[in-house]
């Protein structure tokens, strides 16, 4: 199974160009400790990564961060991706992007733009992201994207402080002429794990949002594609981790570490290879981190004997780590996990509390936030 899985090239690659970002969203899934600017890959190193990805047969590159437009060499990176035959998607907060720069990026070969909206209500959005004037700038950039003939995705990160506006997000995407809307319920690891008390919606709110999306999908068929990432804390079946760990996706950090998923660094037992030291193909095929949870041989019970083990692959390894202190455990989102009841109870208890204020990403908040982080459901074995 392992050899068969890694013999196929990953379909997509997330290139985190930088952890610099003008926003301070309390649900950010980047690591608690961000990479410093002086440790970021150089232009030449990112160009090499794009060439290697094309040679491997990777089809898509998602340019993210932080905020990817903080890189002054973004144009060169997009040119390299285009020359390597990669379909490029710019994932941006859009607040620092000017029209002439966007036009240049399109000329360099940019294929798609994805803009995150912290809310459709401007005042609330700017409180969530801690950036005044963000909403109007995002709207302007979204319209430029459509004017230039590029596909637009509206990204809607959903949590208790904006879940009441799911319907308005759908209306906004249609109004802007977006091809795709991603209703992405926040997943609780990284910075979002520290802010759970401010973010977890009630079960009833979650169900209402799902019903709203399902109805809109039927109503807007052929007009708008709506993808939805549901919150794991209220699930009964786990989602396959990135379609299966090391199966179809890889992530490059700003410093060049190659990860099987965006949050994999939250698993302290794993060591990650770097593109500065090892070729991308070699890492994909032979890295200990990629092979750690590939296939099904690593599984414990109840996953090992489960009929769904080659469908959901045990769920999210990072969530298993965060909630049970052991990444080999069944994702607690699964009803068969011995920790599932505790996970649901935790979510309902957090959602029943008055929403706390966000702990924002700035140096004064980091130490205090880390001290108040929730403990796992169970101690490490």
Contact 139/178 with Cβ under 8 angstroms?
no
CA separation for the pair 118, 25 (Å, rounded)? 8
Residues linked to residue 154 through DSSP beta bridges, in sequence order = 115, 181
Contact 180/154 with Cβ under 8 angstroms?
yes
Contact 64/16 with Cβ under 8 angstroms?
yes
Tell me which residue of 316, 320, 187 sits closest to 243, measured CA to CA: 316
The residues, ordered by sequence, that sit 6+ positions from 160 with a Cβ below 8 Å of its Cβ are 198, 199, 200, 201, 202, 205, 351, 355
Query: Is 306 part of any known ligand binding site?
Result: no
Query: Is 316 part of any known ligand binding site?
Result: no
CA angle 84, 277, 327 (to 5 degrees): 95
Contact 238/335 with Cβ under 8 angstroms?
no
Annotate 118-134 with DSSP letters as a single string.
S-SSHHHHHHHHT-TTH
- Cα 254 to chain centroid distance, Å, stands at 15
CA angle 98, 101, 107 (to 5 degrees): 145
Residues linked to residue 81 through DSSP beta bridges, in sequence order = none
Query: Is 334 part of any known ligand binding site?
Result: no
Instruction: Please give the biggest Cα pair distance in the chain.
Output: 56
- Helices then strands, counting H and E runs in the chain, come out as 16, 9
246-270 burial string, b = 16+ CB within 10 Å, else e? bbbbbbbbbbbbbbbbbbbbbbeeb
CA separation for the pair 78, 108 (Å, rounded)? 6
Contact 194/369 with Cβ under 8 angstroms?
yes
Residues comprising the binding site for [4Fe-4S] cluster?
21, 25, 28
Residues comprising the binding site?
21, 25, 28
């Amino acid at each position: 199974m392992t050899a068969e899985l890694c013999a196929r090239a990953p379909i997509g690659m997330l290139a985190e160009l930088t952890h610099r970002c003008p926003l301070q969203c309390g649900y950010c899934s980047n690591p608690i400790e961000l990479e410093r600017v002086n440790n970021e890959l150089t232009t030449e190193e990112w160009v090499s990564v794009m060439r290697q990805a094309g040679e491997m047969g990777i089809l898509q590159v998602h340019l993210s961060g932080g905020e990817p437009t903080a890189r002054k060499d973004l144009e060169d990176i997009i040119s390299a991706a285009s020359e390597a035959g990669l379909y490029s998607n710019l994932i941006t907060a859009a607040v620092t992007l000017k029209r002439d720069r966007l036009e240049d990026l399109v000329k360099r070969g940019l294929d798609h733009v994805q803009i995150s909206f912290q809310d459709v209500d401007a005042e609330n959005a700017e409180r969530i992201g801690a950036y005044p004037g963000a909403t109007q700038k995002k709207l302007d950039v979204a319209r430029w994207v459509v004017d230039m003939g590029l596909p637009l995705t509206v990204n809607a990160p959903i949590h208790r402080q904006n879940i009441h506006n799911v319907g308005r997000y759908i209306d906004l995407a249609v109004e802007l002429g977006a091809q795709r809307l991603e209703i992405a319920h926040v997943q609780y690891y990284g910075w979002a794990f520290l802010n759970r008390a401010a973010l977890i919606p009630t079960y009833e709110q979650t169900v209402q949002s799902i019903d709203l999306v399902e109805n809109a999908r039927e109503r807007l068929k052929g007009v708008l594609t709506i993808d939805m990432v549901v919150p794991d804390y209220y699930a009964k079946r786990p989602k396959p981790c990135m379609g299966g760990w090391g199966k179809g996706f890889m992530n490059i950090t700003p410093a060049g570490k190659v990860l099987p998923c965006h949050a994999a660094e939250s698993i302290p037992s794993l060591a990650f290879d770097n593109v500065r030291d090892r070729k991308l193909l070699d890492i994909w095929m032979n890295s200990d981190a990629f092979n750690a949870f590939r296939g099904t041989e690593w599984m414990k019970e109840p996953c090992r004997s489960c009929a769904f083990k080659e469908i959901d692959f045990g769920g999210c390894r990072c969530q298993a780590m965060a909630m049970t202190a052991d990444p080999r455990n069944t994702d607690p989102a699964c009803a068969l996990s011995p920790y599932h009841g505790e996970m649901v109870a935790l979510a309902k208890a957090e959602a029943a509390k008055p929403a706390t204020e966000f702990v924002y990403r700035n140096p004064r908040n980091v130490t205090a936030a880390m001290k108040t982080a929730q403990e796992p459901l169970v101690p490490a074995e």
